[in-house]
Every structure is written in structure tokens, then in C-alpha cells.
Chains A and B, each alone.
Chain A
Amino acid sequence: MSLFARSAAVLAAAFALAWPAAAIDIQTVKSPGGIEAWLVEEHGLPIISIEAAFDGGGRLDPEGKAGLAYLVSTLMNEGAGEYDSTAFMQKLQDKAISFGGSADADAFYLSLTSLSANKAEAFELMRLAVANPRFDQEAIDRMKAQIFAAQKEQDEDPGSIAGNTWSERAFPGHPYGRRLAGTADSLAAVTREDILDFMQSRLGRDQLKVVVVGDISAAELGPLLDTLFAAIPEKRAAADAAPVTMQNGGKLDIVDRDIPQSVVVFGAPGLKMTDPDYRAAQIMNYVMGGGGFASRMMKEVRVKRGLAYGIYTGLSGSRLTDTLTGNVGTDNARVKETIDIAKAEIVKMRAEGITDEELADAKAYLTGSYVLGFDSNAKIAGRLLGLYLAGFDKDYVNRRNAEIEAVTKEQVLAVSQRLLDPNAFYWVVVGRPQGLQ
């Protein structure tokens, strides 16, 4: 029990010293052709992971063709060179190689994981997919059909309805208001020519970030980067979308659905991960609604009153805007009570900030748990790629805990006053809520 008897602040300081300075070694590798990658060598397991991201993604989709980036991402393992979809997939399976694309509103991703023993085949299949993807009409039609079906399911799923409605009305007319996978109409409008154009105009080596983790050396990785990405244009041709600020603050919309539990999504403008106030905002969010059972909202809504299975808030950064959002699901009869509690916590945080004890607890958790996100190759690759894309340098992981430690109560109050204007929040409720207008 000696550990628990110590103050949280002392524990947190111990963490800051212990981690992660000595534990994670990120190398910067530059290829002969000038492509940069972050490399974490880990030779304890016979596994290599390559995570590549091109800034851009769905926000660059042409007007009327939303869903293009997402569709292309699903096609990246659907055939290349002489191998059609089936042959390509079977080549991957024969060597137990995992390769595919994905996309979000801000980036287009390629991901490869292979056993060291099969790396030659893995690298060659990835190179081929980048250099010479087939985009056969059969595969395009099949992926479109699967996306259509998933979209229809989303159209009936209360959580998806709430999230999509919130984004659409918070960012009207902007790519961030569109659905990543598009609509039936916009996806139908995408042609094979659009897909070929995507590879030429929406990707560029100037937008490429690569993180490699596992059983590979810097000497081997350098030339490999040139081989893998040679076919990508040097610069991205497509122009970026415009920065945008969230709309409809102060409003509450109800989407009628005959379901027993209403789903509530709410949000306000946030701040950039690189903003000087971001660390203070992280602590504020942890105390208000981000900390699970440690958060004020969870204690009030779930623990004290049993109103919901959970209530959560979080800071989320996109390239062209930033938000502070939250969600909760609660019985139709008790939605108003739940929303009132959440609003009261927002107002209280803005007025009073946090206590010394809450500050210490938040720092102890946020610094102490950071290492938990770096205990596997897959997690390291994912975390580092996110930081790389957000514009951080590779030494950030070693500074981050000290930055959290330095935050004061006054800074938390100041950022609360900056962000938590009750009239900045836009609320969407999906269900049959009682007592709400």
C-alpha cells in the first residue's frame, strides 16, 4: 500500500522520469530519393509493419463525388499488375501478408504487415499495388455495392445517424460535413477515370508520412522507400479545401426515430494539438468528460443516477478545424435530465475550473498511461503516424509528459473559458426524447 499512500503528484513525477526517454528510439530514415520515414527497430519479433499516409483523404473529394478517396482505399488490394483481384488476394494469403488501404477525411493510408521471412514478396506486392493498380470494373462495382449496403445500415444506426447529422449541420457545404464514403448518388457518379485521376492528382510524395516498426534496419529501409513510392507524383496537384469553423452553436436538433434509447451527440469548436493551450485542454477534458469513471459527467450521469451506460467527451483535431465533442445514450424519458446535467458540468467547468486534487489526478493518469499506447509494434506505428501527420517532430513523445506536468490550474480555467461557451455547443438527439424542444 505504500504506493497508494504517496501523493499522486509524486507518482506522476516518477513516471515523467521513467518514461519514455529510454524506452523508445525513433530514427529518421531518409531514402536516396528524399523520402523520409520514422523507424522504430524491434527485432524481438519476426514482424515488419509499414504505415504510410498521404495528407488529403476525403476532404479533397471533388464536389458531387464524395466517397472517392474511401472507394479507392478499398481497391488498393483488389488487384495489381498481372494479378486480378482474386490472384492478388491469394498471393497475400499464401504468404500471410496483410496489405490494404484506408481513408479518413484528412488522409489516405496504406498499411503493410508481414513476417520477416516473407518480406521480399510483401514489399513487391505493395510496390506493385502503388505503381500499377488495376482498378478493374468488376472490383469497382463490387466495392461500390458493399459500400452502398454499409451506408444503408448506417442510415438506420442511431449512433451513425447522430454523428452524421451533427457533422452535416456543423459543417454545411464543407467536405467535413460530407460522409467519408459518400452517398448513393455521389458514389454512383464516380467513374474509373476519376479513380485513375485520384492516383495522379490526390496523392503526392510531398504529402507522404511513413512510419515503420519492426524487424528491419535503417539501411534496408532507405532504398525500399524509393522502390515503394516511386510511382507517386512528386507533388500533390489537387488544391486543398478551405479552413472551416463549426456552425449552429447554441442549437439543438431532434431526429425522430422509434428507438427505446435516445442517442445524443454534442460539440463545440476545439483547438489544435499544437496549440499552446492544448495540454491544459486535455486536462480539462479528462476531468469534465474524457476520463471515464474519473470524469465529472460519468459520476453524475452514470454512477449517481444510473441514467446511461456511459457519457464521454473528447478533443478531436482535423487538418482544417478542431472540435470538442461528446456523446451519451439514455432512455427517451430521461434525455432532458441527462442533457441538463451535461450542460451544468460545462457551465461549472467554465466558471470554476478544476481543483488541486483533480489537477493532480488528471496529470497522474495522463502521464502514467501514456506508455500503455506504446507497448506493441502495432500501437507504436499507429500513435507515431498520428503525431507525424499532426505536424509533431519525433522527439515529441519524449517531451509530452513534461508538458502535461507543467500545466497549472489557472491555465485549465483559462482554456475552459476559451472553449466552454455554452452557446458554442450544437446538440443532436436521435430518438423519441421527451420534454425537449
Chain B
Amino acid sequence: MTVRLSMRGRALALAAALLVAPAAAADEAFKAHEFSLANGMQVVVIPDHRAPVVTHQVWFRTGSADDPRDAGGIAHFFEHLMFRGTPKYPDQQFDAVITRNGGQNNANTYYDRTVYYERIAKDRLGLMMELDADRMANLIIDDNTVPSERKVILEERNQRTDNNPDSLFWEQMMAALYLAHPYGIPVIGWRSEIEGLTTEEARAFYDAHYGPNNAILVVAGDVTVDEVKALAEQHYGPLPARTLVPRVRPQEPPPLAARRVAMKDPRAAVPTFARLYLAPSYTSAKDGEAYALQVMAYVLGGAGDTSRLGLALVKGSKTANSISAWYDGDGLDDRMVGVYGQPADGKSAAELEAAVDAELAKFLAEGPSEEELARAKSVLVANAIYARDSQEGMANYYGEGLTYGLTIADLDAWPDRIQAVTAEQVKAVAAKYLTPERSVTGTLEPAAAPAGGQP
């Protein structure tokens, strides 16, 4: 029951992909196969016969960006409630049934999707489907569970965010990047909102989003497509479709002004510099821009000290102690390109900012070299092959991509599209998106506690 709040480390989340193969045979291993149930539930099967286990996931096309405006944090809060019980499996028996069968399970919520998953021996797949179908239709949501779960979530927020100045800083950065879009609100919610979440709001959220027609079933592992089809029809097939609430989110107005976040916290051990640029996601991008942004971010800062920013600022001028850049294209609406670094000892965040801007200006003028481009593609495309080693990682790649509105064809074509990116395209997206008015610049510095102390 985790919530994914991390911005860093997500750069390569979508870099896991299959190499395209023409006309995959019905059960070809390491390939994604897809069909739908009559009630609208989408199903993806990824055979991998190396070990007698399966990963079973149910993805819902809803996340914190679908929270009602007066109930921030409800998507994540509700995810916790999904474990509390149904008439058939009351009192948190859900977990007990799974562990008694040798399985592991959890769930997590992000801006645009929520996923519930189990990993278990392959002959328990039907049981997992029975459990997940049951809680999709028959969850108990009452005042016996909501108040104690609210306390758990406040402790989760303490642990992840309020005890950690870096997390608090990222919340502030995101809030500054998004004026209107709910990506500016933390997935877990602001503390004041969590404290006010109610049983009624949880019930309304369930009714609005948790139907089979809003879900994607992903099964990876030692199974065939036919086996999954029969079990899915048996367990999920009888669930009626729900009338879904349309996903209407406020969109960002055209960005007009560079913004700054200057945060001081006595617990910040070293100064930090961060820069975010509003940029399209894989879903919202047009004309292949997302692939060019992915390559651009790798060239700039995907390889640490050996990337362009690292060579110039860490190894070269020694302005930075470390620096990285990433592209986060995971979402329905516009996401971001980010740069994150620590100034070298004796240098200030302001000096690092000036040095980063000088390097970015150079990059905007000249674009990537052929060598940089080839190196970035080599690593990104190979990552798609390495990703096949993880059954769970493959399930995540397809499940997440599909909830964001991409198709299996899009996801399969990822390495080819990365390979096709040209230096001109990288230069063009850099010029278009790395502009001051699309940016938030942040510094986090060690300093005296602000008035009012800790939250």
C-alpha cells in the first residue's frame, strides 16, 4: 500500500519495452497479447515461462488527478480501503488468503492510475482473480475502517514527506509547476485534506471509478492466453459495467512566467538546485516529440558525470558535485523535463544555476552531437531488452502505458521510435520546451527553521 511520489528515478520508467516483432504468435513469450471482456475490461497477457509464477495486476484508469477538488488524496486513501474487506472476505482477510497461498501483494496510486497486484504460484491465478473481482464489486466502506485508516495514512505522510525536506521540496516544486492542473497536488494529499476525508467521499469515489470497464487486467508469467481468457471470463466477466464519471481535469493555462521556489529547512544537509520544465507526456505529445524529449534528457543528464551536464559541470568546471536530468512522460496530460543537482563544496545553488543555464544555452544552439545521440540510443534501446528479464517490470510497463491511453502497438514500437529520433528533432524539442516561461527553478538550502516549525 504505497503511494508513488518520487519524481526522480522515473525517467526510465517508460524505457522498458519489447522489441517489435512482426505478427507475434498467439502465445509467444515476452510479448504482450490483448483482448477484452464483454463488460469492457481490457486484458493483457505476457507469457514468460522461466518460473512457475504469475504477476496478476488490476489497473484502474483513475488516480489522484481524478480526486474531487474538495477531496484531495481520496484516490490514495481509497486504495488503502480496498484491503479492508468484503462480506465474503471481511476483516482484512484479503491479505491473509494471499499469504497463506504463498503470494505477495500490494497496491500503489499515482496521478493518473491505481494498481493492485499479486505475485503468486501460477496455479493460484484463479483465486487471485476471485479476490480482486470480489472487491471491485462488494467492498465494505464504513465508519469501522475509515478513521483508523486515516491515521495510518497520516503516519505514511509523516514518514514519506513531513520527515523529509527533499520530499517537501518536491511538493513545493510541483505545486509551482502546475497552476491549474491537479498534478500540482501531492498524490497522498495535503495533510489538512487527509484529515478531512470522509466515508461518504470514499464511497462516491468507488462508485465513480471502480468498474471493470475502467480497468485493465494484466497477467504476466507462466500462463497462456487461453488460460487467462477462460479464468478472466469466469471471474471478471460477470461484473456489470459501471457508469463512469468522465475524467475532466482542469488543464494548464499557457505558461507565461518563470517561477521560483526558494526553500530553507534546517534538516537540508546540502544545497540542492532543481529545474522543471512543463513538457508533453507520451500521451499528450504530438509528432513523436516525447521520444525526442526522452533522448534529449538522456544526453543532457541521463548518464551522471558522463552526460553533457556532468562532463561540463562536475568533471569540467567543478561547479556541481553531482547533476542529472530526466524526462517524465508518464501521464495523460503534460508532464515535465527535470534537472537536479548539488553544487560542489564552496559553490552556491545560484552559481550552479548560472552554470546549468549556460550549458543549456549551448545545447539549444548546437543540439546533440552524432556521438551523443548514438550513445543515448544505444543505452535506451538496450534497456528495453534488459527490461524483459523482469516479469513484474513488463507487467508494469504495459499496464501503466495502457492506463495512460497508449496502445500496445505504441508500447511495442518504443525502441524503434527512440532509434528513429534525429539530432534535429532533439534540437527542436529543446528549443520548444526548455524555455524560461515553462520553468520552475528551485533551491533547497540548509538554514534556520521557518516560523511555525515543522508541520
Contact = CB atoms under 8 A, between A and B. Distances in A.
A63 B4 CA distance: 41
Given A96-B379, A306-B150, A157 B164 contact: yes
B408 interface: no
A18 B121 contact: yes
The residue among B123, B152, B162, B345 with the most chain A CB atoms within 10 A of its own CB is B152
Q: Which DSSP category, helix, strand, loop or mixed, fits chain A's interface? A: helix
Interface stretch (B47-55, B195-203, B273-281): B47-55
A115 B266 CA distance: 46
A6 B159 CA distance: 39
Given A90-B306, A309-B156, A149 B101 contact: no
A330 B126 CA distance: 38
A284 B375 CA distance: 51
B258 interface: no
A263 B449 contact: no
Interface stretch (B61-69, B108-116, B384-392): B384-392
A210 to B, nearest CB: 19
Nearest to A430: B163
B283 interface: no
Given A259-B454, A293-B95, A149 B100 contact: no
B10 interface: no
Contacts of A46: 385
Contacts of B97: 4
A156 B166 CA distance: 11
Interface stretch (B170-178, B247-255, B314-322): B314-322
B99 interface: yes
Interface residues of A, number: 74
Contacts of A309: 152, 155-156, 158-159
Contacts of A231: none
Nearest to A49: B389
Interface in B311-355: 311, 314-315, 321-322, 342, 344-345
A261 B191 CA distance: 14
Interface stretch (A101-109, A234-242, A348-356, A374-382): A374-382
Nearest to A375: B51
B445 interface: no
Interface string B129-153: 0100000000000000001111110
A47 interface: yes
Interface in A2-44: 3-4, 8, 11-12, 15, 18-19, 23, 42, 44
Given A47-B386, A47-B389, A378-B389, A307 B221 contact: no
A86 B306 contact: yes
B29 interface: yes
A258 B453 contact: yes
Contacts of B126: 3
A282 interface: no
A362 to B, nearest CB: 9
Interface in A370-388: 370-372, 374-378
A326 to B, nearest CB: 15
A4 B99 contact: no
A155 interface: yes
B378 A152 contact: no
Nearest to A259: B163
Contact of B124 (A3, A47, A303, A370): A3
Nearest to B453: A258
A322 B328 CA distance: 42
B322 A146 contact: yes
Contacts of B152: 302, 306, 308-309
Nearest to B386: A47
Contacts of A149: 269-270, 321-322, 342
Interface in B433-455: 449, 453-455
B102 A45 contact: no
A94 B375 contact: yes
Contacts of A372: 53, 102, 104, 119-120
Contacts of B99: 291-294, 361, 364-365, 369
A11 B221 CA distance: 20
Contacts of B148: 303-306
Nearest to A213: B389
Contact of A1 (B123, B130, B154, B267): B130
Contacts of A302: 152
Interface in A55-85: 85
A158 B163 CA distance: 7
Nearest to A432: B454
A142 interface: yes
Nearest to A294: B99
A306 B454 contact: no
Interface string A307-342: 111000000000000000000011100000000000
Contact of B96 (A47, A157, A259, A294): A294
B269 A156 contact: yes
B305 interface: yes
Contacts of A368: 101-103, 120-121
Contacts of B92: 293, 303
A2 B26 CA distance: 30
A86 B311 contact: yes
B158 A376 contact: no
Contacts of B5: none
A247 to B, nearest CB: 28
A341 to B, nearest CB: 14
A437 interface: no
Nearest to B311: A86
A261 B102 contact: no
A91 to B, nearest CB: 10
A98 B386 CA distance: 10
A199 interface: no
Contacts of A95: 378
Contacts of B101: 3-4, 11, 364, 368
25 contacts: A12-B102, A42-B50, A45-B388, A47-B386, A86-B311, A93-B306, A94-B378, A96-B379, A113-B386, A145-B321, A146-B322, A149-B321, A153-B270, A156-B165, A257-B267, A258-B453, A260-B455, A303-B92, A306-B150, A306-B152, A307-B155, A364-B102, A367-B102, A368-B121, A378-B389
Interface of B: 29-30, 48, 50-53, 83, 92, 95-97, 99-104, 119-121, 123-124, 126-127, 130, 147-152, 154-156, 158-159, 162-165, 221, 266-270, 303, 305-306, 311, 314-315, 321-322, 342, 344-345, 374-375, 378-379, 381-383, 385-386, 388-391, 449, 453-455
Given A304-B148, A364-B99, A376-B391, 17 more contacts: A3-B126, A15-B102, A45-B388, A85-B315, A89-B303, A95-B378, A142-B314, A152-B269, A156-B269, A259-B454, A263-B163, A293-B95, A306-B150, A307-B151, A364-B100, A371-B51, A377-B389
